[in-house]
Structure 1
Amino acid sequence: MARNRLRNARGVRRRRLAAVTAAGCLALAACGQAENLEEQRGGDDGGGGDGPVELRFTWWGADARGDLTQEVIDLFEEEHPDIRIQPQWTSWESYWDRLNTEAAAGDMPDIIQMDESQIATYGQQGTLRDLGSLDGLDLSGMEDNVLQTGEVDGTLYGAPVGIALHAMAYNPEVLDQAGIEVPDDTTWTWDEFYELAGRVHDELGDEGVHGISFWSLQSANLQNIARQRGEEVFPREGETPISRETIVEFFEQNLELVETGAVPPGDVQTEGVGLSLEQGSFATGEAAFHPLWHTQVQAYVDASGIEMGLLRQPALEPGDHRMVNKASMYWSIAESTDHPEEAATFVDFLLNDPEAARILGVERGVPAIPEIQEVIEPDLGPTGQLSVEFAADLQDEVVPPPQVTPSGASTWSDDYQRIAGEVLFGQITPEDAADQLLGIIEGYQ
């Protein structure tokens, strides 16, 4: 039955491809409606006179996120009738263009959903407020190794909404079909992982199955291995920068994985970049393993109907995984807001209110505050509980988080992906790729 189920999953891929354009149009239309919701609601003139204070609140996301967030806004306004929240949301693709324009005009929304790749840029431009200076925002329930992910040069520009760890998801049905047991992730190494991925293709390659899905073009994989070697792509003072040797060996390994069938060839991996999550090889049963931010596993379960599992990242040496917390995203407050105290009250509500937490669940990641994790866990399904428990179990192992992506380096993932693609297609050597990447990293500084 597992084999038939996987074949059925692969069979729907073309139908999903045909449907994606229509679905995308509907989603964009919905986002446009949501952006104008504040106009539909009417309102005051920004909190002047005796009326309630008005705060603009912006985020990116799809319809489901918008619906849940509006439910929380309604709850907040019931409890705080003196504050009104004007929602403003759009897709990821247009979010940053809009926010850049608003920042340049000195008209930033009061509360901003912020990303790790952008927080240093906005913080160092002086557009974000130091959250540590605000009364009414209680962050005492957050562990230091989580809270620190929102700091830039010691200033807290973002309160982590949730945490995610870069993990290895697996499809138990593909592994079973290949005759492979789920590995012991407390001791497994990269060499063992690569060997397992090759075995999957040996057993199932005739059906188009590879061991690992989207691999070579994901910069986080290189960063994980570098960290295990005591190096960082963006080192703080006193930390060791990523070496040419590490980059060369990583790309050489990628080419070997393509040769063994452990990962798909370059054209398939490149095609995968443009596919939606539901269309990718992991969701359609064409890969056994998939590196991801662990909270994303719910989306793959929803897409495939298969209860995926989570494993630690493999290690260079058994047990030395050096995994880190990453903020799924942040709540930031604009420096230009006229109502910092009210904005802090709303952010505090988003982070600490139990009922708000129950509404939001893990949609924006596993809540960053352990007590809130305990509040929502009983209401979650099996995969949601898996995400919460996975993060909780790893907190005794995680190492201090790296610094956030520096200002000016927000194109790092794209730059890496372009160079990695050139290696896969034989356009440049791993040595050339290492020299180019090191030059790009130096140019960010």
Structure 2
Amino acid sequence: MGCLWMFWVFFCFAAAPVLSVPPVGLQPEQVHVSYTGVPQSMIITWTTFNKTESWVEYGVWGGKLFQLTAQGSCTLFKDGGDEGRKLYMHRVTLTHLKPGTAYVYHCGSNDGWSDILFFTAIKEGSEWSPKFALFGDLGNDNPQSLARLQKETQLGMYDVILHIGDFAYDMDEDNARIGDEFMRQIQSIAAYVPYMTSPGNHENAYNFSNYRNRFSMPGDTESLWYSWNIGPAHIISFSTEVYFYLEYGLDLIFKQYSWLEKDLEEANKPENRRVRPWIITMAHRPMYCSNDDKDDCTKFESYVRVGRNDTMPVAPGLEKLFYDYGVDLELWAHEHTYERLWPVYGFQVFNGSMEHPYVNPRAPVHIITGSAGCREKHDGFIPAPRDWSAFRSTDYGYTRMQILNSTHLYLEQVSDDQNGRVIDIMWLVKEQHGTAAWK
């Protein structure tokens, strides 16, 4: 009898739940960092599936682990799908960082912590040469370029990643579980290097709610449009999608246009353009392309380029605005190809010279880099390239960019199909910036 009683006591205790283990929903995941646009700061963003506190513990690489702490906010994001899934988005801003210094961090709370991760604070001033990887149209099915980008990021090859629209394919699918999986995939890049974004057409569901809630870009427009400075460059990210999803508000076209005009005016003040002479834009749908899919960029009257005359009031396009304010380089995606254009304005080529087209060009230069890899595979080109098309490729890949100084900018296209081979190179050389450069 005594032995039987002892057996039941042991069985009951062994079968009891271990209450000290936190539920999975409290564990941080999908960690990524982005630049706030304010010097000496960075914002850490992550997701949990239950509400918890939002803390980052961090310290200088090589110093005492987690010597510093910062607390942030936790906001509820309810997906628009049938299940109405609830996700909790955590944001913590780190301040007073030492420029160019590496930091080790983890994020979460006493309910659960992330892995130990690291990032390098953005350097200050304009006298340095930032390096970028840039691409659009990366999905979690067929992400051809992801492995190479993961390795190169962790090797320290980049200061910033620019993702120019179209994420996951699509973040809202399966009640936003596809978005969760994509954000887990890119953590191996985005948790180490500022991951700067712009919205694409594949983010449109529920008024771009997955995009607006998952990313943390500078400014107060829920990451739809913003600008920031890095090295000798002023970078502007904006939404081409305001021209195509009028059901979310025609006024967005005019709000964005007004913001762009003010931002460009400020960037062109002599004291600002002297410090940061390069003005670079990034947005999803290009003004020009030589693809054969009947997208906006294949049409002479492109909405993005010249606006819409079927709205009341008429919606202004962006090509003239960017030309009038001396934008140097325009980065695009959307087409699942790579295409480099000659300097172009109004469908006319304005090369610097026949021998050196990108030395002191007389119009902006356009780059389309939307071939990182997704379930929709490649896009095709029309057989004969347009006069303004300089180089094009259907290889999967991405673009590297380095802004060396106030006069020289370097771009190269990496082919993932060809095992990382560089298939295109461009030096953009400008002894003068602003509208005076066009004359």
Question: Does TM, normalized by the shorter one, top 0.5?
Answer: no
Larger Rg, first or second structure (1 or 2): 2
- Give the TM-score category using the shorter length: under 0.3
Higher-helix-fraction structure: 1
Which structure exhibits the higher relative contact order, with contacts defined as CA atoms closer than 8 Å and separated by 6 or more residues? 1
Higher-strand-fraction structure: 2
Query: What TM-score do you get using the length of structure 1 for normalisation?
Result: 0.26
